[in-house]
Amino acid sequence: MEILSDEMLVDSYNLAIQLDLDPEFIGMLFEEITKRDIEPKKYRLGA
């Protein structure tokens, strides 16, 4: 996960939710967002 930029991580998380992907995958993305102390509102989907 460390290869993804913060912006790409948040975009991936938002897209995973929109596409209703596996909740475990969404949870992994959210866990990484939390670990990095990222504020998702800072990033826009597709920016």
Does 26 fall in a domain? yes
Q: Is 1 part of any domain?
A: no
Rounded to whole angstroms, the Cα distance separating 13 from 6 reads: 11
Domains of the chain: total: 1
C-beta separation of 26 from 13 below 8 A: yes
Give the global pTM. 0.81
The CATH number linked to 36 is 1.10.287
23-35 and 6-18 helices, crossing angle to 10° = 150
Domain presence at residue 47: no
Has residue 23 been placed in a domain? yes
DSSP assignment of 1-47 = -TTS-HHHHHHHHHHHHHTT--HHHHHHHHHHHHHTT--GGGS-TT-
pLDDT in tens, the chain (47 residues): 679 999 999 999 999 999 999 999 999 999 999 999 998 777 665 54
Answer whether residue 25 is part of any domain.
yes
Residue 34 belongs to domain spanning: 6-40
Whether residue 45 lies inside any domain: the answer is no
Report if residue 33 sits inside a domain: yes
